[in-house]
Copies of this chain bind each other. A is one copy, B any other.
Amino acid sequence: MEMELLKERIRRDGKVKPGNVLKVDQFLNHQMDTDLFMEIGREFKRRFSDVEVNKILTIEASGIGIACVAAQSFHVPVVFAKKTQTKNIAGDVYTTRVESFTHGRIYDVIVSKEYLGPGDKVLLIDDFLANGKALEGLIDLVKEAGAELVGAGIVIEKGFQIGGDIIRKKGVRLESLAIVESMDAETGKIVFRDEIPQL
């Protein structure tokens, strides 16, 4: 089940742009509706209520707001992985590389070893899942840290891109609150996964 309140908001304030771009910067990743974020956080808590979480991991920048508000429902600290283009990274961080299609760049992504390690039960949270590169990077960091990956909570998954399949095939418990299956830039129509008749 997708989250109705969120789908309504995407329909109302999301803008479909050519090239399968969904702009949701009215409420999600530029202007941020933090009352909606609180509802999203409660929904993540509901979905992951059967597992123990002691840390939320996200990636800068637009994941931070969602993660911090969601953490109000979990009462655990948030760690955000930092994007850096610095060449020399000290040995006290876990590091991986993430390719950003949006920005046409490769980032080193780092987390201090002080704040992630064996014994941590980590929930990943991010605003978007498209090609899955950012989420794969976070999964790498959790593995490198020897921490336990509890699952991943995503606000909007682009169901027509490969990220969701990649992450699910890894056996990661993935909870996406809205999954966009198709969009039409001309009409603005958005079709969500649970609106498609199952064969």
Q: Taking beta carbons and an 8 Å cutoff, which residues of A are in contact with B?
A: 25-27, 30-35, 37-38, 60-61, 64-65, 67-69, 71-72, 75-80, 82, 111-112, 114-115
Contact = CB atoms under 8 A, between A and B. Distances in A.
21 contacts: A25-B114, A25-B115, A30-B79, A30-B80, A30-B82, A31-B78, A31-B79, A31-B112, A31-B115, A32-B68, A32-B71, A32-B77, A34-B71, A34-B76, A34-B78, A60-B64, A65-B80, A68-B68, A68-B69, A69-B69, A72-B72
How many monomers of this protein are in the complex? 2
B30 A77 contact: no
Contacts of A77: 27, 31-34
A77 B69 CA distance: 13
B72 A26 contact: no
B115 A26 contact: yes
Contacts of A82: 30, 61
A55 to B, nearest CB: 8
Nearest to A83: B61
Nearest to A110: B30
Nearest to A84: B103
A15 to B, nearest CB: 10
Given A31-B79, A32-B77, 12 more contacts: A27-B77, A30-B112, A30-B115, A31-B115, A32-B64, A32-B68, A33-B77, A38-B72, A60-B61, A65-B65, A69-B72, A72-B72
